[in-house]
Amino acid sequence: MAVGAFAAGRATAAEGEPSTAARDAFAFRGEHQAGITTPAQDRLHFAAFDVTTGSRAQLVALLKAWTVAAERMTRGLPAGEVGPTGGDALLPPDDTGEAIGLPASGLTITFGFGPTLFRDDHGRDRFGIADRQPAALRTLPHFPGDALDPAASYGDLCVQACADDPQVAVHAIRNLARIGFGTVAVRWSQLGFGRTSTTSTSQSTPRNLFGFKDGTANVKAEEPADLAEHVWVGRGDDPRAGWLAGGSYLVTRRMNMTIEVWDRQPLGDQEGFIGRTKDTGAPLSGGTELTEPDFSMSGSDGPVIPRDSHVRVVHPDFNGGARMLRRGYNFVDGSDPLGGLNAGLFFIAFVRDPDTHFVPIQLKMAKVDALMEYLKVTGSALFAVPPGIGPGEHVGQALFS
């Protein structure tokens, strides 16, 4: 789905999945934040926050508190030292308790900063960091066909919590929101299930709600050269934003699928819209899922892989070689007012530069991709994801130092 979610095969997929026990806990600290190249977990709770204080000191104090709590929870510990059942019976516990008895479940917590953290809608410097705002960090353009809900878009801060247990992911966001009370407020959030991409060669390719394999060509953790070229911000990329070197940009797009309309389309048409077979995920030009598509192969009615198919529109060969690391999730949020499923893809991608690796591809997709007839984008946001957190540091420390 959006921007290469079904894109053509380049990476190597492997048989089988790592067991939950084998990846029960991931390190919170390191060169890069966890939750990017980490093998994609099955569940997501994503939240965007508005900062409600005007105090830089209070904001920094919150980032410090979030760092401590996040590191504890990713180890399978309560958010606070007292825990959900200890301490004074007359005081609220410092952990909400719904994760009592549950392991870390592969929890990763990833933080990002939105453009409005640096400047408000009137251009005012909110916390003395406007001169450090990356040039690429700004509100994404309104693409053709977007039907954005402002209440489900944008944000000053974001937190992505991924885990193999949905309750663990919800517990993480719930406790970070509780800790932030008085300093931040939740602007919007999204629950997701069933990852729609594979971020490691140890994982098999999943399927999206259209029933097609998704994420075949994703950048993988085992491709360090491609990560350096397409995902991680380089030291010389932006002189104003040296603090972001080793980090990335996080794009979110909430893409509602018109599932009932899609389900009534003939199988051949569905495969033509995607450019792949629904069964094996092989390109329509033949081979297996990992076979490179042959876009020059002719059929009886034009190219075997249609020119407006998703695979061709977003393929790196037609987009200056640009690739991205996608980490999206399926969602089903009940029914819409017309009785249809309120469902689709919560698209997440990490890129080195949204101006080269996302915006041009999304613009092209919005204009010519046949798949867009069955998608409606209702939410959109862009965040700068700082690099990994070193020993004794807090998230975003280099930005505020």
CA pair distance 86, 84, nearest whole angstrom: 6
Walking along the chain (401 residues) 10 residues at a time, the average pLDDT comes out as 41 40 79 97 98 98 98 98 94 96 97 98 95 97 95 98 98 98 98 95 94 92 97 96 98 97 97 97 96 93 95 96 97 91 97 98 96 97 98 97 90
CA pair distance 166, 257, nearest whole angstrom: 23
Please report the pLDDT score of residue 24 as a whole number. Answer: 84
Please report the pLDDT score of residue 57 as a whole number. Answer: 98
Please report the pLDDT score of residue 301 as a whole number. Answer: 86
Please report the pLDDT score of residue 367 as a whole number. Answer: 95
Phi, psi of 172 (to 5 degrees): -65, -50
Place of tokens 């009370």: 181
Please report the pLDDT score of residue 14 as a whole number. Answer: 39
Token digits for 71? Answer: 């590191």
Q: CB count, 10 Å around CB of 400?
A: 16
Please report the pLDDT score of residue 23 as a whole number. Answer: 53
Residue spans per domain, the chain: 25-84+93-400
Closest CA to 381 of 343, 335, 349, 334: 349
Task: Give the burial string for 37-61 (b: 16+ CB within 10 Å, else e).
Answer: bbbbbbbbbbbbbbbebeeeeebbe
User: Positive or negative, the Cα torsion across 80, 85, 88, 92?
Assistant: positive
CA pair distance 383, 361, nearest whole angstrom: 18
Please report the pLDDT score of residue 3 as a whole number. Answer: 47
Token digits for 142? Answer: 């309104």
Q: CB count, 10 Å around CB of 366?
A: 20
pTM (2 d.p.): 0.93
H/E element holding 132?
Answer: none
CA pair distance 397, 28, nearest whole angstrom: 15
Residues 6 or more apart whose CB falls under 8 angstroms from that of 148 comprise 142, 377, 378, 379, 380
CA pair distance 13, 6, nearest whole angstrom: 14
CA pair distance 45, 192, nearest whole angstrom: 6
pLDDT single digits (tens) 207-240: 999 999 998 889 999 999 999 999 999 999 999 9
Place of tokens 């998608």: 375
66, 176 contact by CB (below 8 A): yes
Token digits for 294? Answer: 């042959």
Phi, psi of 308 (to 5 degrees): -100, 15
Place of tokens 């939950």: 20
